Amino acid sequence: MDLRIEPAAVRRAATELQRHGTELAAAGGQAAAGEGGRIWGDDPLGARFGAAYPGARDAVLARVQALAAALTGTGLDLAGIADRTERADAESAAAFRRDA
């Protein structure tokens, strides 16, 4: 079984993940900033919803930001893998030329 890493493909995936992470972080920030006011009524069901909503909203927004950070971080890690793979390949190629 051969394991091949195509640095260019890995770098493209890294760039996309970082972009998605950045976009998701921005969308989460917009959702937090744009969330305005009460969206429930004063009836008993609305009162229960209103009591639970802020905590649930905050938890979801925190998870969105955590996911955005994970996407961005994974993209950075993949970019590092591409860089290290290219360096290792270049070092191996240079070693073969010296030995030839």
Residue 42, pLDDT score: 85
Is residue 2 domain-resident?
no
Average confidence (pLDDT) per 10 residues, the chain, 100 residues:
92 98 95 77 88 91 97 98 94 80
Is residue 74 domain-resident?
yes
Residue 67, pLDDT score: 98
Residue 36, pLDDT score: 67
Q: What does the alpha-carbon distance between residue 5 and residue 74 come to, in Å, rounded to a whole number?
A: 16
Residue 50, pLDDT score: 87
Q: Which residue pairs, CB below 8 angstroms and at least 24 apart, start in 12-17?
A: 13/75, 13/78, 14/75, 14/76, 14/77, 14/78, 14/79, 14/82, 15/75, 15/79, 16/75, 17/71, 17/72, 17/74, 17/75, 17/78
| Confidence (pTM) | 0.80
Is residue 68 domain-resident?
yes
Domain tally for the chain?
1
